[in-house]
């Protein structure tokens, strides 16, 4: 029996969670309750709530952009992963809508 864990978008979401946790671990300690906390909440929401994850994906995309502007990170791999996940999510949503 297949579960949500078998979905490619879930697996990509988990990969993004790991990436965000790794980079935010290096943020300034004063960001622990600010950007770090927001980013971690948003990114864990993506694989946790696949059907409403586009909003969380936009949120983490914006937060990564902010972290880059502040000089906290310079990691374009996460941005590429976000775009890949966004394409797959849009295709998944399109598929779900057409099978109803």
Can you tell me the distance from the alpha carbon of 33 to that of 47, in angstroms, rounded to the nearest whole number?
Answer: 22
Q: Which helix (H) or strand (E) holds 36?
A: helix 35-48
End-to-end CA distance of the chain: 21
Asked if the structure places residue 21 within a domain, the reply is: yes
CATH number of the structural domain spanning residue 33: 1.20.1440.60
Can you tell me the distance from the alpha carbon of 56 to that of 85, in angstroms, rounded to the nearest whole number?
Answer: 12
| Domain count of the fold of the chain | 1
Look up the domain containing 51 and give its range. Answer: 8-98
Contact by Cβ (8 Å): 50, 7: yes
The pLDDT tens digits of the residues spanning 19-63 come to: 999 999 999 999 999 999 999 999 999 999 998 899 999 999 999
The pLDDT tens digits of the residues spanning 56-84 come to: 999 999 999 999 999 999 888 999 999 99
CA trace torsion 43, 49, 50, 51 (10° rounding): -130
Asked if the structure places residue 1 within a domain, the reply is: no
pTM of the full structure:
0.92
Asked if the structure places residue 2 within a domain, the reply is: no
pLDDT, average across residues 2-29: 95
């Amino acid at each position: 029996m297949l579960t949500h864990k078998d979905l490619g978008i879930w697996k990509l979401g988990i990969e993004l969670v790991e990436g965000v946790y790794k980079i935010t671990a290096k943020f300034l300690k004063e960001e622990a309750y600010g950007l770090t906390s927001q980013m971690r909440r948003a990114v864990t929401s993506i694989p946790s709530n696949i059907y409403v994850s586009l909003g969380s994906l936009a949120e983490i995309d914006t937060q990564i952009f902010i972290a880059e502007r502040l000089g906290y990170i310079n990691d374009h791999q996460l941005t590429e992963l976000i775009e890949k996940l966004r394409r797959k999510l849009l295709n998944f949503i399109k598929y779900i809508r057409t099978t109803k």
